[in-house]
Amino acid sequence: MHFNPRALFATLALLPALVVGQLSSSVGPLTSHTTKSATKTCNVLNYGAVADKSTDLGPPLASAFAACKSGGTVVIPSGDYALATWVTLSGGSAWALQLDGIIYRTGTDGGNMIFIEHSTDFELFSSTSKGAVQGNGYVFHAAGSISGPRILRLYEVTDFSVHDIILVDSPSFHFSIDTCTNGEIYNMAIRGGNEGGLDGIDVWSTNIWVHDVMVTNKDECVTVKSPSKYILIENIYCNWSGGCAIGSLSTGTDISYVTYKNVYTWSSNQMMMIKSNGGNGTVSNVIFENFIGHGNAYSLNIDQYWSSETTQAGNGVQLSDITFTNWKGGEAAGATRGPIRVICADGAPCTGITISDFAMWTESGSTQWYACRSAYGSGFCLHSGSTHTSYAVSTTTVSTAPSGYSASRMAADLSTAFGTTASIPIPTIPTSFYPGATPYTRSDRAGGGGPEEHAEGPLGAG
């Protein structure tokens, strides 16, 4: 049999992506939005919507969806729209929602402003990269409340993508990805208020690729929650944020095969935190690679006695086979909050933790520390050996900067946070999300894909 590599490559280019990194299969919609639009287009203006920033978009959007849910594209064209009643878009197959206008929250209910559930072969996008939802959360926050609605929630959606849209000032969480499969989230800007409870992206799903996203808030940047499996998160810009995390973890935790790669964090609570207090279950096979930090309170922070979480039943979540590699930059005050803090549960010591190629230095003062508790593996204060018993906190203080800690800065680093009492401006989507990394680009075709399609970039996944 004659082997023709050119013919093979041409054939593979037409197929869904192969398994790569921590993904288990292809991600994204099965049908391009061009094909969907050619099948049917449902413009909300034809169903009663008016771009006057006053007329409720909710009923027209629901009607347009009903007309296109079996195959087609729902279009919200450029203009300013008010959303007074929330929409649940349930069911549907081979459909898209094209958001080119700006939606302003005017309703006051809780829940989810836009809730998409039980859909397959779905795409939410802006054709201009200017489509946005302005949640006007400051109205709630100025009154001391974060119990308003989330902007966007997906539940039990398969083979989908969300991209090129902007979410601003949610009264509560900005974007939740709940029990979904084979999804891609990319080329987004999320900008929220400077207080807790205003998460950027939370995902608890299977086979999800999140990449090229910027988040500003003071809580979760891009966070994985339980249960999750096969999650790839890369080219993330936490620009004055709470930082990325896994957790909070509780009972029955089930998280595995997660990779965070190319994460830049500026003026945030932490670069990465795994947080729990009691509980049980497992977190395994996790990689944190290519992290750059500047001006953050914590850097690498595993805290299984996290005081902000009520103690859960159980001896602790078992953390195993977790790798931290190629971390650079600085922390705000290393004598107060050292760059490595691995505090594991005495009832379930961490095993297989690896910290390598890690060089960070304090941005104030002249010392920093590394602290470990009941943590086993290789690197810094971790204990070695095959007998994994609990041990008290072991702290190492150093007064000499490590070599190679200097790291690039992003030009768009914010000089101050956005408050909670005034409207937050709608940003543009950045052209870069990590120093030296070219954002991935997507082709308008069926089959979605995976990062191996873009390995030609300077920091392509692999």
Hey, which residues are catalytic here? 219, 294
The residues, ordered by sequence, that sit 6+ positions from 411 with a Cβ below 8 Å of its Cβ are none
Nearest CA-CA partner of 79 in 127, 130, 37: 130
Residues 6 or more apart whose Cβ sits within 8 Å of residue 11: none
Q: How far apart are CA 410 and CA 265, in angstroms?
A: 10
Extract long-range pairs of 452-456: CB within 8 Å, 24+ residues apart. Answer: 452/17, 452/18, 452/20, 453/17
**CB atoms near residue 225 (< 10 Å):** 22
User: Are 317 and 304 contacting, i.e. CB atoms less than 8 angstroms apart?
Assistant: yes
Closest to 375 in 3D by CA, of 341, 412, 402, 332: 341
Token pair for 221: 């940047």
Cβ contacts of 224 within 8 Å, gap of 6 or more: 203, 204, 231, 233, 245, 246, 255, 258
- CB of 161 within 8 A of CB of 154? no
The dihedral through the CA atoms of 442, 446, 447, 448 has a sign that is positive
Please report how many Cα atoms fall inside a 13 Å half-sphere around the Cα of residue 61, on the Cβ side.
27
* CA separation for the pair 54, 254 (Å, rounded): 45
Instruction: Report the DSSP pairing between strands 394-398 and 368-373.
Output: antiparallel
**How many alpha carbons lie under 13 Å from residue 213 in its C-beta half-sphere?**
32
**Residue-wise DSSP of 303-327:** ETB-TTSPPBSSS-PEEEEEEEEEE
Question: Which tokens belong to 401?
Answer: 């900067």
Helix (H, G, I), strand (E, B) or coil at 209: strand
Strands (E), 44-149: 72-76, 80-83, 87-90, 93-99, 102-105, 112-117, 120-125, 132-134
Q: Among residues 374, 375, 368, 357, which one has the least CA distance to residue 396? A: 368
* Residue 12 three-state SS: helix
Q: Which two tokens stand for residue 348?
A: 């379930």
